[in-house]
A and B are shown apart, each in its own frame.
Chain A
Amino acid sequence: MAKEQAVIRNDMSRFKWTLNEMKKHKTGYFMALPFFILFFIFTVAPVLLSFVLSFTTFNLLEWPDFVFMDNYIRLLLDDDIFMTAIINTFKFSMITGPGSYLLSMLFAWFINELRPKIRSIMTLFFYAPSISGQVYLIWTIFFSSDQYGYVNAWGMKLGLLSEPVLWFQDEKYIFPLIVAVALWTSLGTSFLTFIAGFQVVDKSLYEAGAVDGVKNRWQELWYITLPTMRPQMMLGAILAITGSFGFGAVITALVGFPSPNYCAHTIMHHLEDYGNSRFEMGYASAIATILFFMMIGANMLVTKMLRKVGT
């Protein structure tokens, strides 16, 4: 036995080593296989395929022509709206990503302080908007452009408005409104993970911390609680990033497509525009590829930042 173990690692190539390891754990791999196949067919393959398609002029109905980098060149150098979309997406995700993350965090922390029964009630209370599907549509009722819409009617009654405002049709109001909606719906899954994360922190660590000289609750949070729940924070962060990048559908439901003067046009919308209304799937794939890399980049950035927590 000892002899066998001794041969390892240095005696073979990395590939052979992996193969060897796989053989050893074949039951595990076998059990993961069904999921992997599905995951590959429905997630990995489309991503790869769209990467390939991004070098073609695919119009959904005819066989694609290979055009090499044309799509990317046009996208990056000759598409003003794409630039608008990038700026909007960044603006939007810069506010809502960290915003929703911090909000979830804060609410989770506060709620964690409550007694268990009240805690579960409050959790449901805050989590409800994000599980009830298209509940954000009530914002269109509140902010209806009709003079009988709630906000317009009240605003006019109180003398704040002199005529009905087209809330979701006016560039001035759209962005703040969708940010508000995004934050309102953001207390979702990441909020639940945070609550779970707070619960699993080992109580003895706090005692140890108190002995080691933690002076207040902030220090407790920063040096003990947060580092302990780093995995949950990671998950929360990824959810927040993908959420804020992929918020397009909600914006479309509220503002319509496309938004007036592209003021709320995100990369998702640009993708939809080219993929659905203009039948330019090749170009849309190029957009998707760029979005994909942006998300990876944001992810790496967040991972790095999370490492700094508690140090």
Chain B
Amino acid sequence: MIGQRRKAKSFCIYVLLLAILTSGFCGINASALGEYFGGSDSLYRTSLDDVESYLTATTYEEYRNVYDVPFGDETIELDITDYLVAPDEGVDEDDKTAYSKGAIKVLENGLGDYNGKVVICGDNSVITWKFKPEESVRYNIAIEYYTGDFNEGANLIAKSATAERYILIDGAVPYKEARSVEFEKIWADVYNVLDENGKFTYNADGSKKTYLSTDDKFIEFVNNQANMNPDSERPYLKDVNGNELKPDKQLIADWVEKSIYDSTGYYSEPLSFYFEGGIEHTISLQAVREPLAIKSIKLLKVEDDITYEKYLEKYSDKKDYTGSESFKIQAEYAITTSGNTIYSINDRSSSFSEPQDSALIRLNEIGGDKWQYVGQWIEWEITVPEEGFYTIVPRSQQNFYSGIYVSRKIYINDTLPFKEAGNLRFPYSDDWQTKPLSDGTTDFKFYLKEGVNKIKLEVVLGDMSEILSTVESSLAAINGYYRKILMITGPEADEYRDYGFDKLIPDVLKGLLNESERLYDVSDLLTELTGAKGEHSSTLDRVALTCERMGTYPSTVASQMKTLKDYTASLGTWLANTQNQPLEIDYISFQAVDSKAPQAEPGFFGNLWYEIQKFYMSFFSDYNSLGSSGEGPDASDIRVEVWTATSRDQAQILRSLVDDNFTPNYEGISVDIKLVAGGTLLPATLAGTGPDVYLGGGQGDPVNYAIRSAVLSLNTKTGNTNIGYDFTDLQNSVWNSKDDSGNYKYPAYNKLIEAGVIKDFNEVSTWFADQALVPLTLYGETYGLPMTMSFSMMFYRKDIFVELGIEVPNTWDDFYDIIYSLQSNSLDIGFPTGTGGSMVFMYQQNEPLYDMGNHDYYLDLFRRYYYEGNFDDISDEELADLDKTLAENGLTYTDNEGNVVPKTDGITINLDSDLSLACFKDVCRFFTMYDFPITYDFANRFRSGEMPLAISDYSSYNTLIIFAPEINGLWEFTPLPGTANELTQEINNVTIGGVSAVMMMNSVSSKEDVALGAWAFMQWYLSADIQSAYGNEMVALLGPSAKQPTSNMNALANMAWSSEEYNNLFSQFNAVACTPEFPGSYIIGRYTNFAFLDVVNDDAEPVEELQSYILDINVELTRKREEFGLPTADSIKEMLSVVEEKYPDWNEGRKD
């Protein structure tokens, strides 16, 4: 032992020495790569070729400065159908990169209302066109695309998400802004046609009558000034209490021409591309997400936007409108929006919001934090009676970010009227504002034609764009420098040591000084724009000061590392926040130039009176009952009570889904949704007041509750002991049967079952990953359905891997190989601790967590033990009787195929097998010998690049997308490394998944009629349509970080993943193993964690340590099994001794 330990120690010292030596070396090496502005060519060549062509550090600004040639003077339209296809022969595989590939289809007869040729390029495609200019020239590129749905086969199915593309010129991304170009869709509101009583009206086929906000009916409505009066009738549906309900959104199919813009909004003008003269170039669109249907692609002749002065000159013959009447649009009556997340909202803060009610919800605004990302727009229509100049006065509020303003760009009839209108400012204020549109200095007037005008407001970064783009590139540079220093010092820099940074990495120090200067400049600019030094500029100043110090005094670099890290993290957060430009709008007024703007807020007494009213009304408002007035519940309905312990928002989404989708489709069943606090389920069940269905049980809950008869099984077969229902064959079930008089017992159910609306258990179980039902199933009976499923995947930083020249590991052998490369550069690896890690190894080698299988052996044992005569001469009848006895004694169950199976799975733990112990030891070595960190903040370390490789739950994706925008596109998640099968060399990369459950509670155990209603709800809720709608609503409500890890495979596929993410996610989704749950399984995590901690804290020997806990685990498993009358390790031992006495050689020939 001691010798071993000493050996390990001296080994560690060698590794350390080596690491120190090489880190110095690599430091120099890395710094030599420091300045690569010239695009991808100067990057380290590795086999990560694909990645490489997109990793460019060049910004558009740099590109624009280098290739400052005039724009082409005429618009060139490329022939879309003439895209480059690689000839079958004569081209090297490697050279094919520039050609089109993936799913591409030409539609000869057009799409939507267009009849010409249309090219659809799939979500896995690259499409390339040729272009050869005479002389060197720049162009903007405009693409005309289709926003509607289409389904043209694999990879060509539009999923209503924003399409995203890389733009490649000559096979490479010219600058990083071209790495994410978005083509958004168009959405309209769906209004219900209501009768005079406010009830729904129906079409002949039973669907509700609706109309869109783009339909004439709505357009007429909004263009009539009488309807803009706050007291006039409103198109919204109301709930039982009179609260307005927000309308649904629907995708609008249309052809849209769009110049390629920077989707981050840092550049307000369209992106331009340089083409050298006399050479043939290729222009490619490479898919990131969503297929795209294209009608035309044009290289645009560019006309400069005119200034406001020129604009006034241009319309100098037009008069100002002078009438006293002003014209208004209620902002919530938008015609179209750029996303389904921009919808009407309710403001209760001001009594002047139109319309307002002291007690009820009025959807009186639009926007807010739903309308804050660059590129999102809302379009309205307004009719003015005469042409001329108008002042546009919105009633707006920006009370989200103090100290700064948000910006909008206005389009009037689809054109930007003048340059300054692309940069309208809305300063911060607690109160509502009514100020004419202005850029901060001038109040503008706009020319409107007589009749209908289209007004569109789009989120832009305005003057902030320059600041933000500089800060972002600066932040990326500083993070790069930080990493280079880190590779020399290691994570714990020794401040007393002279590393000699000025000799090792002079360029990094120079770079830091450069960045410091840049940040100071930006900070000054920011102060100038906002008019005061505040928290915003101080965030910048702090980083700038630290960089300055580090650059000026190399000896302080080591001591400033931690400070720099903290400050850059807060700068990253600042960057992410400042990019958001939320603005709420109540109405927009069009009025005579220089006329007085409407009053924005009531006076003191007006406000007081409103607050008093609100307070008084709060005693009478019913905040709990939900549901629409469109249809009332029927008294004869079967009522299913559903509890959920989520947030109120989520319950509300669920409620509206039930109203919109469940109630109309499942006639005769009504669902009550109750929001409860977590932990109420147990006491409520105990008191007999529990729900019928519970959403959101933990992984162990179904089995744990079920063995105590609190949860019902969903596929109970005769002969099994537990209570429950059988939903496996609804056609022939009791719910579809006739009573004595020949009538259907449950006519409502009969209709639904015959129509195939209610799916049966067998069909429902195919919706999930193969293993998702495993934790919810005990001895052949399933006690719940999986609601969410999460699992680990491998996250890695592409840029760092390319920089270090290492490959993404496919197997654990590869993984071991790169540990050295990473650690010699002082970079960390994140890995799940203890059995969390070792179970991955075990399941990849098909080693289960519990002792399973061996059914024949146990069955034989039980039969011989219970049979009184000589078992070898048993007759078939006696055998059947015997099996019945076994089942009655709780020793066996009958599975779906009718086989008798002993309930012996999970009788003991399998962690003491040689393989399990070896796996545990391997994982422990990661933390003892390789010193992987045990506790860490994944998101922060991954973002800073200290931990470029980590195995983490795939939902970390959400965090990274939102909180680390500066590394967008520089990282990826892939399936875990696998274990190669020794014989077949097949790689098994199974990961361990965890689920949460939907359970049917025992309160329906005696209510057969409610049971099927409860099942109908469960299978409805988990169906792909509802899960995707729920997931999309969550994203709409809480932002992209709220992506639901739904367990329904098709629903997950419907969410907005890029095709690369999708492929990775699904190859892992199909390789998820879940550990089963058995009575007493809670004890395993506890004791294995004890063993792991002993190993890490006290250098205990992993194998011995784990073995010492096996007995304790098995004792607890046995004790729990005894409690529930299941066969235990002890009882089997006892039986064995009896049987062996009776049949000394019964087991011969069985042991291989």
A residues within 8 Å of B by Cβ?
Answer: 57, 59-62, 144-149, 153, 156-157, 163-164, 166, 169-172, 258, 260-261, 277-279
Contact = CB atoms under 8 A, between A and B. Distances in A.
A60 B1094 contact: no
Contacts of A156: 492
Contacts of A163: 931
Nearest to B706: A61
A149 B936 CA distance: 10
B937 A157 contact: no
25 contacts: A59-B708, A61-B682, A61-B685, A61-B686, A61-B709, A62-B709, A145-B934, A145-B935, A146-B933, A146-B937, A147-B933, A147-B936, A149-B935, A153-B492, A163-B931, A166-B935, A170-B1097, A171-B1098, A260-B1090, A260-B1093, A261-B1093, A277-B1082, A278-B1082, A278-B1120, A279-B704
Contact of A153 (B562, B686, B708, B1082): B562
A166 B708 contact: no
Interface in B270-315: none
B705 A61 contact: yes
Contacts of B935: 144-146, 149, 164, 166
B933 A260 contact: no
B220 interface: no
A66 to B, nearest CB: 15
Nearest to A149: B935
B491 A166 contact: no
B708 A172 contact: no
Pick the most buried of B931, B937, B1086: most chain A CB atoms within 10 A of its CB: B1086
B1096 A166 contact: yes
Pick the most buried of B492, B495, B709, B933: most chain A CB atoms within 10 A of its CB: B492
Contacts of A62: 708-709
B1089 interface: yes
B543 interface: no
Contacts of A277: 1082
Given A144-B935, A147-B491, A260-B1090, A60 B682 contact: yes
Contacts of A157: 492, 495
A169 B1093 contact: yes
Given A145-B935, A146-B936, A146-B937, A170 B708 contact: no
Contact of A261 (B492, B934, B1090): B1090
Nearest to B933: A147
Interface of B: 491-492, 495, 562, 682, 685-686, 704-705, 708-710, 931, 933-937, 1082, 1086, 1089-1090, 1093-1094, 1096-1098, 1120, 1123
B1090 A60 contact: no
A279 B399 CA distance: 50
A171 B1082 CA distance: 21
Contacts of A172: 1097-1098
B1093 A170 contact: yes
Given A145-B934, A148-B562, A164-B934, 7 more contacts: A61-B709, A164-B935, A166-B934, A169-B1097, A171-B1097, A261-B1090, A278-B1082
Nearest to B1120: A278
B708 A261 contact: no
B1088 to A, nearest CB: 12
B1093 A164 contact: no
Nearest to B495: A157
Contacts of B1096: 166
A205 B202 CA distance: 92
Nearest to B1091: A261
A113 to B, nearest CB: 43
A153 B492 CA distance: 8
B491 A279 contact: no
A258 B1086 CA distance: 7
Contacts of A171: 1093, 1097-1098
A156 B492 CA distance: 7
A261 B1092 CA distance: 10
A260 B685 CA distance: 33
Contacts of B934: 145, 164, 166, 169
A57 B686 CA distance: 15
A44 to B, nearest CB: 20
Contacts of A149: 935
Contacts of A279: 704, 708
A258 B1087 CA distance: 10
B1097 A61 contact: no
Pick the most buried of A57, A148, A164, A260: most chain B CB atoms within 10 A of its CB: A148
B678 to A, nearest CB: 13
Contact of B492 (A57, A60, A147, A170): A147
A213 B1094 CA distance: 61
A261 to B, nearest CB: 5
A166 B1090 CA distance: 13
B1122 to A, nearest CB: 11
A27 B686 CA distance: 40
A56 to B, nearest CB: 13
A146 B830 CA distance: 12
A81 B78 CA distance: 79
A301 to B, nearest CB: 34
Contacts of A164: 933-935
Nearest to B704: A279
Nearest to A173: B1097
A231 B301 CA distance: 93
B937 A60 contact: no
B933 A166 contact: no
A61 B688 CA distance: 9
A271 to B, nearest CB: 16
Contacts of B1098: 171-172
Given A156-B492, A260-B1089, A166 B1097 contact: yes
Contacts of B686: 60-61
Nearest to A279: B708
Contacts of A144: 935
Nearest to A163: B931
A47 B911 CA distance: 42
Contact of A60 (B491, B708, B936): B708
A147 B495 CA distance: 16
Contact of B710 (A57, A61, A260): A61
B829 to A, nearest CB: 14
A111 to B, nearest CB: 38
Contacts of B936: 146-147
B1082 A61 contact: no
Contact of A166 (B709, B937, B1093): B1093
A21 to B, nearest CB: 40
B945 to A, nearest CB: 15
Contacts of B1082: 277-278
A175 to B, nearest CB: 14
The 9 A-B pairs of least Cβ separation, nearest first, read A145-B935, A61-B708, A170-B1097, A61-B710, A146-B935, A260-B1093, A156-B492, A261-B1090, A59-B708
A163 B930 CA distance: 12
Contacts of A146: 933, 935-937
A222 B1146 CA distance: 82
A31 B1097 CA distance: 60
A261 B562 contact: no
B591 to A, nearest CB: 54
A275 B86 CA distance: 69
Nearest to B940: A148
A1 B1089 CA distance: 77
Contacts of A278: 1082, 1120
Nearest to A161: B492
B15 to A, nearest CB: 14
A176 B65 CA distance: 64
Contacts of A61: 682, 685-686, 705, 708-710
A59 B495 CA distance: 59
Contacts of A261: 1090, 1093-1094
B946 to A, nearest CB: 10
A57 B495 CA distance: 62
B1099 to A, nearest CB: 12
Contacts of A145: 934-935
